[in-house]
Amino acid sequence: MESQTELLLKRRHNTIGKYSPLFYEQPIHLARGEGVWLYDTDDNKFLDCYNNVPHVGHCHPKVVNAITQQVTKLNIHTRYLHENIVNYVERLTATFAEPLNAAMLTCTGSEANELALRMARFMSGSQGIIVTDAAYHGNTEAVGELGTGFMPEAQRTKRVRSFPIPDTYRGLPNVPVEELKDAYLKHIKAAINAFQEDGLGVAGMLVCPDFANEGLLNLPDGFLEEAAEMVRAAGGFVIFDEVQAGFGRTGKHMWAHQWYDVVPDIVTMGKPMGNGFPLAGIVSSLDNINAFTKHAMYFNTFGGTPVACAVGNAVLDALEEDNLLENAVTTGQYVTEGLLKLQEKFDLIGDVRSRGMFFGVELVLDKTLKTPAKVQAKQIVNFMRHHGVLISTIGPSDSVLKIRPPMPFKPEHADILLAALFKAFDAVSQEVGV
Ligand code: PMP
């Protein structure tokens, strides 16, 4: 007899195919979520150490209340005067440095990046966009062109050029650490030159300031600032994709780019912005937004509705009232210390990287050659799932454990995560003899 879950898996397979592969060798059939916990249909409990969309916690009462209150009153597009969008954007833009003082709201991160590309190309009069060679920024056609991490070389278009991921752990072949910054900058310069030779010009550089999909990298000091300067000198826009990194994820600052000494021209955001409700957008200067919309029509039916903005406000309330940035700093530090202790014990762990409530644990088969331990990373993720803790992998070789829990994650949750990781590393290390 097939179980309910097996039957549902079959029906899913026959209706939506394989376009969104399920996590884990044994998929989880979820029923509900609360705070940092998820529950399956048999009421088994899983500690969520992966999902950043339920940023302030699964089903946060403030967010649930905001949706229900506003949806029973009014929900309509942005062509009528309503205070929610104004209140929200005033509050949102107050978290940025000048001149980032205005916003346009969308429903997804992909739409936000699509809009940022349109703005940069329209305003610069150029086409070329610089990204990393392991980038993912979304699913529309133009944004899909930037997805170098998922695209064979032959399918790339001439208007997108990539540079090697700026990674102080792996670096570049035969380049000493102290020369890494300049070596990576040479690749940016080469992309700029190539665009100019092709007659495309430079519209901008679009990167996640946390290099999250690339493996949560530590950059050579000064790299991002100098890369931004080079792009601007060539007439391009600096676009930071904060879809994963934003809203206090990195603890010390509301925005990951605020760790660096560079103010971008456009910031894109999404995922955690509505805690699961589709809310995303771009922040730029009012001058940029007015200059773009004077000639280019932009309307987004569901972007910035009164419900969306009520939700956005509730997320900001929860971040403030639950002291979640402060928690990301203190609990983040606690988790990092635990991960570093694991690194001392297990040779599989090549590098531990963290910023606030975002952790990357890079697995290698050999500490000198740094051979990516892709298979072992997958084994660890599946082992953890069977021990009730949900994590995933990132990076060009999928060999970096991605640990990115909802922001109300506390030291008592960290203890559960670290104990499960210990067991997982113990089991997997013994198996491969590392
Ligand atoms: N930018 C980054 C950095 C992302 O990780 C993603 C989604 N994984 C997106 C953009 C696209 O966001 P969405 O799925 O909301 O369109």
**Is 230 within 8 Å of 185 (Cβ atoms)?**
yes
Ligand 1 binding pocket, CB closer than 6 Å:
108-110, 113, 136-139, 208, 212-213, 241, 243-244, 270-271, 280
The pLDDT assigned to 433 comes to: 57
Q: Quick one: 69 and 133 in the same domain?
A: yes
Nearest CA to ligand 1 atom 13: 109
Average of per-residue pLDDT values in the chain: 96
The pLDDT assigned to 103 comes to: 98
The pLDDT assigned to 67 comes to: 98
For residue 177, how far is its CA from the centre of ligand 1 (angstroms)? Answer: 31
The pLDDT assigned to 432 comes to: 65
Q: Quick one: 371 and 294 in the same domain?
A: no
Number of folded domains that form the chain: 2
The pLDDT assigned to 155 comes to: 82
Q: pLDDT for 310-350, tens place per residue?
A: 999 999 999 999 999 999 999 999 999 999 999 999 999 99
Q: Quick one: 359 and 281 in the same domain?
A: no
**Is 256 within 8 Å of 209 (Cβ atoms)?**
yes
For residue 137, how far is its CA from the centre of ligand 1 (angstroms)? Answer: 5
138 CA: nearest ligand 1 atom: 11
pLDDT at 159 over 90: yes
HSE, side-chain direction, 13 A CA sphere, residue 418 = 20
Q: Which of 321, 349, 378 is the last residue of a domain?
A: 321
Q: Distance of alpha carbon 81 from its chain centroid, rounded?
A: 32
The DSSP code sequence of 136-187 is ---SSHHHHTT-GGGS-GGG--TTEEEE----TTT--TT--GGGHHHHHHHH
Q: pLDDT for 30-41, tens place per residue?
A: 999 999 999 999
280 CA: nearest ligand 1 atom: 15
> Other CB atoms closer than 10 Å to residue 386's CB: what's the count?
12
pLDDT at 434 over 60: no
The pLDDT assigned to 165 comes to: 97
Q: Which pLDDT band holds residue 2 (cuts at 50, 70, 90)?
A: confident
Q: Quick one: 384 and 413 in the same domain?
A: yes
Our mutation pick for probing the ligand 1 site, out of 52, 208, 244, 279, counting the most ligand atoms within 8 A of Cβ, is 244
For residue 223, how far is its CA from the centre of ligand 1 (angstroms)? Answer: 24
Q: Which of 290, 321, 352 is the last residue of a domain?
A: 321
- Report the pLDDT averaged over residues 240-251: 98
Strands of the sheet containing 160-163, edge to edge, are 102-106, 280-284, 266-269, 237-241, 202-207, 128-132, 160-163
Q: Quick one: 317 and 338 in the same domain?
A: no
Q: Residue 81 maps to which CATH number? A: 3.40.640.10
**Is 408 within 8 Å of 36 (Cβ atoms)?**
yes
Q: Residue 362 maps to which CATH number? A: 3.90.1150.10
For residue 32, how far is its CA from the centre of ligand 1 (angstroms)? Answer: 23
- d(CA 413, CA 318) in angstroms, rounded, equals 19
Residue found by looking up tokens 């050579």 in the block:
220
Q: Quick one: 225 and 352 in the same domain?
A: no
- Report the pLDDT averaged over residues 74-102: 98
Q: Quick one: 48 and 74 in the same domain?
A: no
The pLDDT assigned to 150 comes to: 78
Instruction: Indicate the angle between helix axes 306-321 and 83-93, nearest 10 degrees.
Output: 40
Bridge-based pairing state of the strands 280-284 and 266-269? antiparallel
Our mutation pick for probing the ligand 1 site, out of 243, 249, 267, 392, counting the most ligand atoms within 8 A of Cβ, is 243
Give me 189's structure tokens.
């310069």
- Give residue 357's domain range: 4-56+323-432
Q: Quick one: 137 and 208 in the same domain?
A: yes
Compare 20 and 282 and report the one with higher pLDDT: 282
pLDDT at 356 over 60: yes
Our mutation pick for probing the ligand 1 site, out of 105, 117, 137, counting the most ligand atoms within 8 A of Cβ, is 137
ipTM for this prediction: 0.99
Q: Quick one: 254 and 311 in the same domain?
A: yes
Nearest CA to ligand 1 atom 12: 109
For residue 143, how far is its CA from the centre of ligand 1 (angstroms)? Answer: 10
Q: Quick one: 356 and 399 in the same domain?
A: yes
Q: Quick one: 37 and 81 in the same domain?
A: no
The pLDDT assigned to 404 comes to: 98
Q: Which pLDDT band holds residue 393 (cuts at 50, 70, 90)?
A: very high
Q: Which of 291, 321, 351 is the last residue of a domain?
A: 321
Q: Which pLDDT band holds residue 4 (cuts at 50, 70, 90)?
A: confident
Q: Quick one: 161 and 197 in the same domain?
A: yes
Our mutation pick for probing the ligand 1 site, out of 50, 269, 271, counting the most ligand atoms within 8 A of Cβ, is 271
For residue 138, how far is its CA from the centre of ligand 1 (angstroms)? Answer: 5
The pTM assigned to this predicted structure is 0.97
For residue 19, how far is its CA from the centre of ligand 1 (angstroms)? Answer: 16
